[in-house]
Amino acid sequence: MAEAEVEAGAGRRDVADPGAWREDAFAGRSRLLEGVRAYGLIVAMWMRSTMAYRASFVMTTVGNFVATAFDFVTIMLMFTHVDALGGYTLPEIALLYGASATAFGLSDLLLGSVERLGRRVRDGTLDTLLVRPVPVLAQVAADRFALRRLGRITQGLLVLGYALVTLDIAWTPLKVVMLPLMVLSGAAVFGAVFVAGAAFQFFAQDASEVQNAFTYGGTTVLQYPPSIFAKELVRGVTFVVPLAFVSWLPALYVLGRDYPLGLPGWVAFLPPVVAALCWALASLAWRTGLRAYRSTGS
Amino acid sequence: MDSDFIELDGVEKVFDVRRRTGFLRRERREVRAVDGISFRVPRGEMVGYIGPNGAGKSTTIKMLTGILTPSGGRLRVAGIDPSRERTKLAHRIGVVFGQRTTLWWDLPLRDSYRLMHRMYRIPDSRFRENLDRCVELLDLAELLDVPVRQLSLGQRMRGDIAAALLHDPEVLYLDEPTIGLDVISKAKVRGFLRELNAERSTTVLLTTHDLTDIEQLCDRVMVIDHGRLVYDGALAGLHEVGESERTLVVDLEREMPPIELASDLAVRVVRVEGPRQWLAFPASASAAPLVARLAAEHPLVDLSVREPDIEAVIAKMYAADPSRQAV
């Protein structure tokens, strides 16, 4: 009896419901992979649309590059008057700057769009993302994917390249591994801060300025050696917002310098751990924020 | 399951509203946006969900789509708890918000549709079939390559409706789908929804301010006020309960005493202001014979017909039966 019912039901669905494919479209997929896939789809769409206006893309990217390049030009000008800043030479600072700028550029390119979340909450367009079958974070992060931000990454990589060519580093395999490790972990830490900042905007919709203080402000601090800043600030940066892992500690390791605050040598290898920890906190914050939004609607 | 496709049992949504009353003092107030609503919608039905502003219509829709989590009660759509399995439900529902678009603002319609195709994993053949059908019936062919932000409100609404239907949803929620549309767009949208419901037996739940939407589309109408269901039944019954009337605004050549017409037309003058007079007549009656008679017997300059608004219908409902607080 029950079997017959099931069969009849299945048969009817094939005939009457042209949308029967839906079950297969959803069945047992991991949310993380779905999120990455959706992110890729949306990014691809924005890139296609950017490339439709190639000249405009080239010009905005060059503009982005030039605007960020002035940053480092300022530092170079400073070095026409002094030989060292806080005991660091220009190429050494270039290493700090290049690693940090590249890391920040990467996370800004991949996740920078999440800072528009506050506006979406205010004007109610977040609701339209919640009715789609993919994670909201992926949709927010991929929205208006701005390929022009490659300009900042290019600038960071150039400065980093300059540092590596001019510096006289006693390379070891570990130091070689350290370079990509610090850039990628740094990008991950910045990304986590972007996401946590966006999560905060669920509660206070004007919080993007606070977050900018951490991301844009953070990258500025990290472009200078730790010894020119007050000790308390250094401690805060290291422990409260672990952005120091973005470039200082690994860079000091590569340069063979002493660490600030008498930290032990192995801390230079912590960046991936710190990045993972930051992401755990950021995703917790994101879930909390989204849950709060779904219970208050504002 | 088919007769209880959408189920609500005592669903509530309570908001905590904080208001600044002093420099640091804040007052907390509880707002019961939805205050214990229960109803069933069988598969394939087309239901109007109406009520004045702030009655709780949008809040209900947001709970039915999984955007908002109910504060209490039980809610199921196609057997799924929307707030717990939002993404699973998203494959089976289509949503159109009249006030904001689900399309990508800066991109051509075609790009938005292509993205939906991939995002919902719609099989190619189904996608093409659904898109072709929408393009034809909603007249979208010339709009496909226009960025959404350049579309008029009516065009955008049609684009949005198409986007909500590409993945063969079993239920379509429309929140004010005809708000701000011109007469032609309204007619097109209504015709399309009628056909969709007839051919695909897609369940449709729509909120509206426009009673004509309900008249032309829905057999059943639910009225919500102050978060409670105050009427659930046929539209005709609502008119009966609310004695709803339309108003004919007549501009005469000069000031005249209140118009009197032969008694076979149920019409009465409700207001006179200089050469302008307001005539009320039953919403179910046609205005044509009335206008013909007026034009023949009086020096007409201009006239317009005003539809009864939901607020008026509900106000009359209360006036007719003060004990009616909830059904």
Cβ–Cβ gap B115/A42 under 8 Å: yes
- pLDDT of residue B255 exceeding 60: yes
Residues 151-170 of B with CB under 8 A from A: 167-170
The verdict on B185 and B289 lying in the same domain is: no
Collect all residues with Cβ–Cβ distance below 8 Å to A15 and sequence separation of at least 6.
Answer: none
- Rounded to 5°, angle at Cα B46 from B236 and B12: 95
Confidence (pLDDT) at A3: 42
pLDDT value of residue B325 = 45
| pLDDT value for A15 | 42
pLDDT at position B44 over 70: yes
Q: Is residue B314 in a domain?
A: no
**Whether B236 and B253 share a structural domain:** no
- List alpha helices for chain A, DSSP H: 2-16, 22-26, 31-51, 54-78, 90-111, 117-123, 126-130, 136-142, 150-166, 173-200, 208-222, 231-239, 244-255, 271-296
Structural domain ending residue among the three candidates B240, B261, B293: B240
Angle at Cα B100 formed by Cα B98 and Cα B102, nearest 5°?
A: 100
- What's the number of domains chain B is made of? 2
Q: Which candidate in B120, B132, B199 is best for mutational testing of the A interface (most A CBs within 10 A)?
A: B120
pLDDT at B50 over 90: no
pLDDT above 60: residue A255: yes
Residue B198 inside a domain? The answer is yes
As a whole number, mean pLDDT of residues B10-38 equals 82
What's the pLDDT at B263? 59
User: Degrees (nearest 5) of the Cα angle B80, B85, B91?
Assistant: 80
Top-confidence range, A8-12, A27-31, A290-294, B255-259? A290-294
Which chain A residue lies closest to B72 (C-alpha atoms)?
Answer: A295
**In this predicted structure, what is the pLDDT of residue B242?**
59
Q: Is residue B312 part of a domain?
A: no
- Higher-confidence residue of B93 and B293: namely B93
Range ranked top by mean pLDDT from A96-105, A225-234, A243-252: A96-105
The string of pLDDT tens digits covering residues B86-130 is: 999 999 999 998 888 889 888 899 999 999 999 999 999 999 999
- Token pair listed for B104: 């990508």
Q: Are residues B232 and B269 in the same domain?
A: no
Chain B residues with CB-CB distance to A19 below 8 A:
92, 126, 167-170
Domain assignment present for B317: no
Could you identify the residue written with the tokens 């426009």?
Answer: B210
What percent of chain B is predicted at pLDDT more than 70?
A: 89
Q: Write down the pLDDT at residue A197.
A: 85
Closest Cα to residue B247, out of B310, B309, B179? B309
- Averaged pLDDT for residues B185-197: 90
From the list B86, B101, B121, the residue facing A130 with the nearest CB is: B86
Q: Domain check: are B222 and B252 in the same one?
A: no
By a Cβ cutoff of 8 Å, what residues of chain A touch chain B? 17-19, 21-22, 24-26, 31, 34, 38, 41-42, 45, 48-49, 123-125, 127-128, 130-135, 144, 291, 294-297
**Which residues are CB-neighbours of A107 under 8 A, at least 6 positions away?**
A187, A188, A190, A191, A194
Confidence class of residue A2 from pLDDT cuts 50, 70 and 90? Answer: very low
Please tell me whether residues B23 and B171 are part of one structural domain.
Answer: yes
B78 & B128 share domain:
yes
Contact A296 B99 (CB under 8 A): no
Same domain, B258 and B216: no
Task: Closest CB to A127: pick one of B62, B106, B118.
Answer: B62
Same domain, B133 and B214: yes
Do B89 and B194 fall into the same domain?
Answer: yes
Nearest to A242 by CA among A37, A77, A170, A250: A250
Average pLDDT over residues A132-139: 94
> Best mutation site among B19, B68, B174 for testing chain A: the one with the most A CBs within 10 Å?
B68
Residue B204 sits in the same domain as residue B259: no
> How far apart (Å, rounded) are the C-alpha atoms in residues A188 and B254?
78
Decide if B12 touches A, using CB distance below 8 A: no
The Cα A44–Cα A40 span in angstroms is: 6
Between the alpha carbon of residue B275 and those of residues A187, B253, B297, B300, B306, the distances in Å are 74, 7, 15, 10, 18
| Among candidate residues B192, B145, B124, B184, the one with its CA nearest the CA of residue B164 | B192
Query: Is the interface score ipTM higher than 0.85?
Result: no
B320 within domain boundaries? no
Q: For residue A4, what pLDDT is reported?
A: 43
% of chain A beyond a pLDDT of 70: 79
- Express each pLDDT in B262-281 by its tens digit: 656 778 888 888 889 988 88
Phi-psi region of B119 (alpha: psi -120 to 50; beta: other; left: phi over 0): alpha
Q: What is the pLDDT of residues A149-175, one digit of tens each?
A: 898 899 999 999 999 999 888 888 988
Alpha-carbon distance B93 to nearest alpha carbon in chain A (angstroms): 8
Query: A5 pLDDT exceeds 50?
Result: no
CB nearest to A133's CB, from B69, B71, B120:
B120
In a domain, B158, yes or no: yes
Residue B246: strand, helix, or coil: strand
Q: Is the pLDDT of residue A199 over 80?
A: yes
Lowest mean pLDDT among A38-47, B7-16, B24-33: B24-33
Q: Is residue B233 located within the same domain as residue B273? A: no
Contacting residues of A for B126, CB less than 8 Å apart: 18-19, 21
Average pLDDT, chain A: 81
Q: What is the CATH number of the domain that holds B114?
A: 3.40.50.300
What is the predicted pLDDT for the residue at A10? Answer: 40
pLDDT confidence of residue B240: 66
How high is the pLDDT of residue A1? 39
Cα separation, B74 vs B181, in Å, equals 35
Token readout for A83 is 């030989």
Name, in order, each residue with C-beta under 8 angstroms of B219's C-beta and a sequence gap of 6 or more. Answer: B45, B46, B234, B235
* Residue of A123, A174, A93, A25 lying closest to B120 (CA atoms): A25
List beta partners, residue A209.
none
How far apart are alpha carbons A144 and A60 in whole angstroms? 14
* B297 contacts: CB under 8 Å, gap ≥ 6: B261
In a domain, B276, yes or no: yes
Sheet holding B268-273, edge to edge: B268-273, B276-282, B245-252, B300-306
Q: Does residue B322 sit within a domain?
A: no
Q: Do B71 and A295 touch (CB under 8 A)?
A: yes
Q: Which amino acid is present at B202? A: T
Domain of B148, in residue numbers? 6-240
Give A-chain residues touching B115 at CB under 8 angstroms. Answer: 41-42, 45
pLDDT in the model for residue A7? 41
B217 CB neighbour count, 10 Å cutoff: 24
Domain stops at, among B240, B270, B299: B240
Which of A89-103, A177-191, A221-235, B262-276 shows the lowest mean pLDDT across its residues? A221-235
Both B170 and B33 in one domain: the answer is: yes
